[in-house]
Structure 1
Amino acid sequence: MSDESKIKIELPKEHEFRFDVPQNSTISLKQQLVEGTAEYFGTELALGVAYQFDNEKGAIFTWYPGCVLELVGNCKHYISSETMMKEYLNIHNILQQNRTTALNEKKRGPRVMMVGPTDAGKSTLSRILCNWAARRGSQTIFVDVDVGQGSITIPGMVAAQEMTQPTPIGRVEYTASNPLSYFYGAVTPSENIPLYKNQVENLARDIDARCDDNEGAVRSSGLIVNTCGWVEGPGYQLILHAIDTFKCDILLVIGHPQVYEDLNRTYGSRGVNVIQLPRSSGVSKRDQGYRRKARTEKIKHYFHGLSEDLTPHTVTLDFKDVVILKVTPSTQKGTRLMEITPSGEVTHCILGVTYHATSMENVLSNNLAGFLYVSEVNVEKQKITFSSPSPGPFPSSYLLMNSLRWLK
């Protein structure tokens, strides 16, 4: 990177440095001055440390008195004073007050849900609020039911993660430790609404149990729930279901006045605080091609690491050693599991492996241990070959399948 351009960026107080790193390019950003601070979506930059970014759209914000950044590499970038950070900080301060009260009174902390259309900035605000809370010593549980994105595990799952520290900045390996995750196996809730609702309920059940078992920081820190951008028709009904299931008492509605009015009419009289926020000018529109590539990259990083320096383990088993259960919609029971014989249909599928599943009846209600990629099916020899991130036997012989695939 020594042959690339190096520029100094003087960032005034309460401004954002926004950048867009194109595909197959890398930049380095470093905060130079001792005075002042800067942060990346709520995580503070360390002084003098160079952070690497590639194929990423991001923003670095500074409070008083401003800061100086050093940029090495080429990317689109600009400085903006149009930022929502003050409004976000006000919300954070309210949440911290609620957490303190909950801790003192041994009650559940605030349960916050992000609601809004696609590309409204829900994931960004979730990350900022979680990181700020972690910096204050809270242990907020981040809940992601946006199956199209996969902020905690790979796409296609509903998951939750206790945030004990801010998320790392830039191109670094970050793996959620001990997440709660449940198999859905598709990237849109519309593919199987009964299954989606069932897995959201399973996730909420385990979160409630974890909070009830911990009367300290976990219970009082509350939840930050990120939802998908489907806010009309059946999608709106799924939002209502999620609000009730997670027992949310604060709704942050971003960039959709009509949804705000509808939710305020429904929940405002029930003691739920419904807050309307405009869409941040820094939020970028992402087309379907960008989303597909982002999902593919997320799955690739799971098996090969962020720097693609990891080699997954190859495991070949007899057909009789595994039970592949395909999730299918059912008009009678909502969702059913159908045992299938491995065939070419299974090749390139991403399968979910659960912990300690003992029967078909309870496999969907079990927390996921991880994922497998089906690289080859040999019908003649009755052999199936998987790529696995870890060696050794699988936690369960029951493997869950839906429509999620990875075409390398």
Structure 2
Amino acid sequence: MADENVKDGEDYRLDRNAELRFEVDSRNEVQMELVEGMAEVFGTELAKKQICAFLPGSKVAVYTYHGCVVKLRGKTEVAYISKETPMTMYLNTHAAMEQMRQKADIEETRGPRVLVVGPTDVGKSTLCRLLVNYAVRSGRSPMLVDLDVGQGQISVPGTLAAVVMERVADVEEGFVKTAPLVFHFGHKSPADNMTLFNTLMSRMAEVINIRSEQSQRVNSSGVVINTGGWVRGSGYDVLKHAAGSFEVDVILVLDQERLYNQLKGDLPEFVKIVLLPKSGGVVERSQHARAEARDMKIREYFYGVKGNFFPHTFEVKFSEVKLYKIGAPSLPESCLPLGMKASDSKTKVIPVLPTMTLLHHVLSVSASDSGDQNIVETNVLGFIIVTGIDMDKAVMTVLSPSPRPLPKSILLVMDIQFMDIK
């Protein structure tokens, strides 16, 4: 059925199993109100008569199973109603996962561990949000794991993160991420350091197993794992490593039969592999748009989604902190110390001297107390940005979400930069 264009500022009616998709204009915000019926945004139910405001550039899909009337106020780049939507299939996927959880409750075993894979810009993060929201609405506490270091939804780019979800995502601001587990990777793509990425994935899986053992509720609720869009060559090997590390039961492949058939051939039969279509509302993003999304994610960390956080700026003496970078440059085997492999250098912790090149870099504040600990596999407490360096005074000015002093003294340098122009 053809999509139906919508006029802004008017009430309009969605039939059963229809979806209103709109993208907010880059200079304005759009207000949305559910006037009649029942509807949801990415698995979060809308309250009737409550006005939701969406920021410039937001892409939103309002779905209804039974029909509804919605009002939009403000300028959109595009807005249309579609009846061609895969939402019923996504709901069926949730129902199958819920059956696995009920069985886990009865047998006191582990709930479903689901890996969501597919190329870039097919809606993997959105599907993860849907499945987690539906699970929470069913009374569960699933764990969301994000392995997408380029466009993560739990923490800033350049990290692997996991969090137990107790509440449905807010329509406007997304998930409440209370006490997430975050590991420093420091790059925008796993390709920049495959050895480190695989090491951190394995460590994340270990910690999740420990967390699951502590609570049968979390254990039976299962894990939903989001991945990046690199699915060929070494990227495919990363997906297989993730499937093995997290001992997944189900792999959801979005919009790529080739990847589906590869996984079917390479993974054991007990792993259920399901091919799902992507939503028609998903659009491909340019490299520039992806870079902007990374900047937005870092800005949200410090200032909040709606600019309601107030970060602190203060000076830190060089003598008060120790700076490190994880991963030494690749060297031929002949240049390495006796008994050392090339892959070992990829997880080596290298001391960094403070210089002007640190300006605008994102730094992770490690939870490690000393350089003797395994800094690579220690989680991080948060992030700061170097906004100024005075070599004469031997101090750097940092932007921090909390006031001085820094909670720990070991700082890990990312390859990711952010210009704070607020």
Aligned partner letter, 1:254: L
1-structure distance, mates of 2:138, 2:65:
17
1:257-313 per-residue CA deviation (whole Å, 9 max, x = no partner) reads 1111111112252x0101111222121111111111111011111112223243321
1-structure distance, mates of 2:176, 2:94:
25
Question: Residue 163 of structure 2 aligns with which residue?
Answer: 161
Question: Residue 413 of structure 2 aligns with which residue?
Answer: 401
Whether the 8 Å contact between 1:173 and 1:305 is mirrored in structure 2 is: no
Question: Residue 366 of structure 2 aligns with which residue?
Answer: 354
71-80 or 279-288: which moved more?
A: 279-288
1-structure distance, mates of 2:380, 2:191:
22
1:94-115 per-residue CA deviation (whole Å, 9 max, x = no partner) reads 1001001101111110000011
In the TM superposition, residue 122 of structure 1 has moved relative to its aligned partner by 0.8
Question: Residue 19 of structure 2 aligns with which residue?
Answer: 16
1-structure distance, mates of 2:145, 2:245:
12
Question: Residue 375 of structure 1 aligns with which residue?
Answer: 387
Whether the 8 Å contact between 1:183 and 1:368 is mirrored in structure 2 is: yes
2-structure distance, mates of 1:129, 1:182:
24
2-structure distance, mates of 1:173, 1:303:
16
Aligned partner letter, 1:133: A
1:108-132 per-residue CA deviation (whole Å, 9 max, x = no partner) reads 1000001100011111111100000
333-342 or 370-379: which moved more?
A: 333-342
In the TM superposition, residue 402 of structure 1 has moved relative to its aligned partner by 2.5
2-structure distance, mates of 1:173, 1:313:
24
Aligned partner letter, 1:219: N
Question: Residue 314 of structure 1 aligns with which residue?
Answer: 313
Any idea what SS the aligned residue of 1:32 has?
A: strand
Whether the 8 Å contact between 1:11 and 1:62 is mirrored in structure 2 is: yes
Question: Residue 390 of structure 1 aligns with which residue?
Answer: 402
Question: Residue 252 of structure 1 aligns with which residue?
Answer: 252
Any idea what SS the aligned residue of 1:375 has?
A: strand
2-structure distance, mates of 1:107, 1:243:
19
Whether the 8 Å contact between 1:268 and 1:274 is mirrored in structure 2 is: no
In the TM superposition, residue 373 of structure 1 has moved relative to its aligned partner by 0.5
Aligned partner letter, 2:229: G
1:280 aligns with 2:292: no
Aligned partner letter, 2:305: L
Whether the 8 Å contact between 2:116 and 2:124 is mirrored in structure 1 is: yes
1-structure distance, mates of 2:180, 2:309:
21
In the TM superposition, residue 164 of structure 1 has moved relative to its aligned partner by 1.0
2-structure distance, mates of 1:390, 1:404:
21
TM-score using structure 2 length: 0.92
In the TM superposition, residue 361 of structure 1 has moved relative to its aligned partner by 4.1
In the TM superposition, residue 377 of structure 1 has moved relative to its aligned partner by 1.3
117-126 or 301-310: which moved more?
A: 301-310
TM-score using structure 1 length: 0.95
In the TM superposition, residue 196 of structure 1 has moved relative to its aligned partner by 1.0
Query: Structure 1 unaligned runs (5+)?
Result: none
Whether the 8 Å contact between 2:169 and 2:176 is mirrored in structure 1 is: no
Aligned partner letter, 1:16: E
Whether the 8 Å contact between 2:110 and 2:220 is mirrored in structure 1 is: yes
Aligned partner letter, 2:309: L
In the TM superposition, residue 395 of structure 1 has moved relative to its aligned partner by 2.5
CA RMSD, Structure 1 to Structure 2 (Å): 1.5
1-structure distance, mates of 2:343, 2:146:
29
In the TM superposition, residue 68 of structure 1 has moved relative to its aligned partner by 0.3
Question: Residue 188 of structure 1 aligns with which residue?
Answer: 189
Whether the 8 Å contact between 1:37 and 1:45 is mirrored in structure 2 is: yes
In the TM superposition, residue 173 of structure 1 has moved relative to its aligned partner by 7.7
Question: Residue 227 of structure 1 aligns with which residue?
Answer: 227
Question: Residue 198 of structure 2 aligns with which residue?
Answer: 197
Aligned partner letter, 2:30: I
353-362 or 189-198: which moved more?
A: 353-362
1:158-203 per-residue CA deviation (whole Å, 9 max, x = no partner) reads 0011111110012x48641000110011111111111111111121
Runs of at least 4 residues off by over 6 Å: none
Query: Structure 2 unaligned runs (5+)?
Result: 1-6, 331-341
The one of 328, 339, 344 aligned to 2:356: 344
Whether the 8 Å contact between 1:13 and 1:62 is mirrored in structure 2 is: yes
Any idea what SS the aligned residue of 2:408 has?
A: coil
2-structure distance, mates of 1:73, 1:80:
20
Mapping of residues 9-408 of structure 1, within 5 Å: 9-33=12-36, 36-54=37-55, 55-64=57-66, 66-75=67-76, 76-170=78-172, 172=173, 175-215=176-216, 217-269=217-269, 271-329=270-328, 330=330, 331-333=342-344, 334-408=346-420
Whether the 8 Å contact between 1:357 and 1:366 is mirrored in structure 2 is: no
Any idea what SS the aligned residue of 1:370 has?
A: strand
